Amino acid sequence: MYAGTFVLLLPAVAYWGSLVVDLTLFGALLPPAIYGLLQKILPTSVKYTGFNTLQTDPKASSTVGYHPTFGMMCAMGALLAISRVGAFRSLRSIPLRAVFSATGTVFLVALYFSFSRGGMLALAAGAVVFLVLSKHRFEALGNAAVSGLPALWVVSQARELSGLVSRPVSPQTIQSDGLALVEPLLKGLLLAFAAQLLFSLLVFAVKKFVPEGVRRGVRLVATVITACAVVVALSYAAATFQNAGGVVELRERITADPSELEAGAQKEDQTQRLTSVSAASRIALWQIAWENFRQHPLTGTGGDTYQLIYDQNRPANSESALHPHSVWLSLLSDTGIFSFLAFAAFSVGCLCLAFYNALSTTRTTRSRALLAGSAAAVTAYLASSTIDWNWYIPASTLPFFALAAVAAGTTPSRRERNHNGAENAGRRSGPNNIGSNARRSRFGFTRSDSPR
């Protein structure tokens, strides 16, 4: 099913890449995000889908039933929505830019309510790829801020509502605080919509009235300032890390028993989870999967057999586990080295093709924005799946293969290459040469060779 999605979409994305991205965004990712928000706004009317109960667990799991996967899907959606803003390059498309910015805010707020560390990691990993591949990086940063700052404001308001972020609280508080979320959420969406309208007008005004030489100088100065800020931030972070105990302290926190964290989280703000690096429970799952792979390196023990292996080797007083919470270790344990290498080659190959296609000199701004968003969402999925079992949830994995097809298959067409090549030649040789080429195209050249 997964491979079929990729194979069927691969030949289509060259012509309908934006359609595939939009269908994935609005058809596969946005409905779960809205459902997750409705779980917070109407907690007693919208079915709870987590592992515990509504009275003990404030995390939104949406239709997928697992809050880390839901968080990862929201990260994918946010990256796609923000990247799509940069694909619209005309004044008439400014309202669409505003709609996509508000959609990005929806995803970011829903991501927060998943309280998923893996979702935050996925967003961070995807954001790096998105910025690297974006053609207009400072505009991309502005688009991210337009969606992100209203989301942060909504989150700041939500943290004051104990029924949204804490347990135990009374059922009446859960219901009243859920309804209280509606006002800041609507204000945040309107703020994102209005901010994108103003930002888009500013971007188009700068392009129209500011000379290219001035813009190039401003970009150079801004790049230098940004680089200096990054160096200062990294230096400060390194100093803080060393003062906090360095690698030794980090290792202790990663291997610490997470039971204290979970017990505290039941009584306090769930955002404590987002600052924790404890991974002791996952490390135990990974170790068992790794040892099983070492015993059966070529074929593994068979598809979906990890639960049997874990039950035979699990620590005392631990619950059963279906998966090792890592797609890589799951492949190694269940099906051996060959399937692991096949999926690794597929993932790396898709990302390499995305970088190659996006950085092509013939790539238009619109198609590059699509590639940047798709590659960023693919990266987000892989980052989250390294520490979770998203692979076994089709609602999250099918969008991954659809976007992988966009990232790998959106290559510059022959007509696009000729069009951009003719434009570049026209700039070098002047308008008379363009007219000459246009006249020659009517006498013997094929349509794909004409510089249209």
Whether the pLDDT of residue 402 is over 90: the answer is yes
Q: For the residues of 10-27, what is the DSSP string, one character each?
A: TTTHHHHHHHHHHHIIII
pLDDT tens track for 18-47 = 899 999 999 999 999 999 999 999 998 999
pLDDT recorded at residue 16 = 84
CB 373 within 8 A of CB 83: yes
Helix (H, G, I), strand (E, B), or coil: what is residue 409?
A: helix
Q: If 0-12 CB within 10 Å is exposed, 13-18 middle and 19+ buried, where does residue 77 land? A: buried
- How large is the average pLDDT for residues 103-112? 97
pLDDT tens track for 259-295 = 554 544 444 566 676 667 777 788 888 999 999 999 9
pLDDT recorded at residue 255 = 65
CB burial string 153-188: b at 16+ within 10 A, e below: bbbebbeebbbbbbbebeeeebbebbebbeebbeeb
- How large is the average pLDDT for residues 114-122? 93
| Residue matched to tokens 């976007």 | 403
Report which DSSP code applies to 323.
S
Helical H segments across 59-169, by residue range: 67-85, 94-114, 117-133, 137-158, 162-165
This prediction's pTM: 0.86
Helix (H, G, I), strand (E, B), or coil: what is residue 40?
A: helix
Q: How far is CA 353 from CA 232, 334, 404, in A?
A: 33, 29, 10
Q: How far apart are CA 274 and CA 280, in angstroms?
A: 16
Whether the pLDDT of residue 321 is over 70: the answer is yes
Asked, as a colleague might, if the bond just before 168 is cis with ω within 30 of 0, I would say: yes
Q: Which of 312, 410, 284 is nearest to 357 (CA)?
A: 410
Confidence of residue 15 (pLDDT cuts 50, 70, 90): confident
CB 123 within 8 A of CB 79: yes
Q: How far apart are CA 153 and CA 183, in angstroms?
A: 12
Q: How far apart are CA 286 and CA 256, in angstroms?
A: 16
Question: Please, what is the angle between helix 337-358 and helix 365-385, to 10°?
Answer: 160
Best-predicted range by mean pLDDT among 364-368, 385-389, 417-421? 385-389
Q: How far apart are CA 36 and CA 64, in angstroms?
A: 10
Q: How far is CA 202 from CA 86, 189, 206, 366, 392, in A?
A: 14, 20, 6, 19, 45
* Spatial CB neighbours of 322, under 8 Å, sequence gap ≥ 6: 306, 307, 389, 392
pLDDT recorded at residue 73 = 97
CB 53 within 8 A of CB 94: no
Tokens encoding 402: 């659809």
Tokens encoding 98: 């505003």
CB 111 within 8 A of CB 71: yes
pLDDT tens track for 134-166 = 988 889 999 999 999 999 999 999 988 989 988
Higher pLDDT, 431 or 378: 378
Tokens encoding 360: 């092509």
Q: How far is CA 424 from CA 107, 366, 431, 439, in A?
A: 39, 18, 11, 18
pLDDT recorded at residue 231 = 84
pLDDT recorded at residue 452 = 34
Q: How far apart are CA 173 and CA 170, in angstroms?
A: 5
pLDDT recorded at residue 398 = 94
The total of other beta-carbon atoms located within 10 Å of residue 338's CB is 13
Helix (H, G, I), strand (E, B), or coil: what is residue 368?
A: helix
* Spatial CB neighbours of 413, under 8 Å, sequence gap ≥ 6: 14
pLDDT recorded at residue 35 = 97
CB 150 within 8 A of CB 191: yes
Whether the pLDDT of residue 246 is over 70: the answer is no
Least confident of 39-53, 95-109, 386-400, 424-438: 424-438
- How large is the average pLDDT for residues 398-405? 93
- The proportion of the chain whose per-residue pLDDT surpasses 70, expressed as a percent, equals 82
Whether the pLDDT of residue 445 is over 70: the answer is no
CB 80 within 8 A of CB 138: no
pLDDT recorded at residue 433 = 43
Q: How far apart are CA 180 and CA 287, in angstroms?
A: 45
Tokens encoding 405: 């097809």
Confidence of residue 449 (pLDDT cuts 50, 70, 90): very low
pLDDT recorded at residue 259 = 55
The total of other beta-carbon atoms located within 10 Å of residue 261's CB is 17
Tokens encoding 352: 């390499």
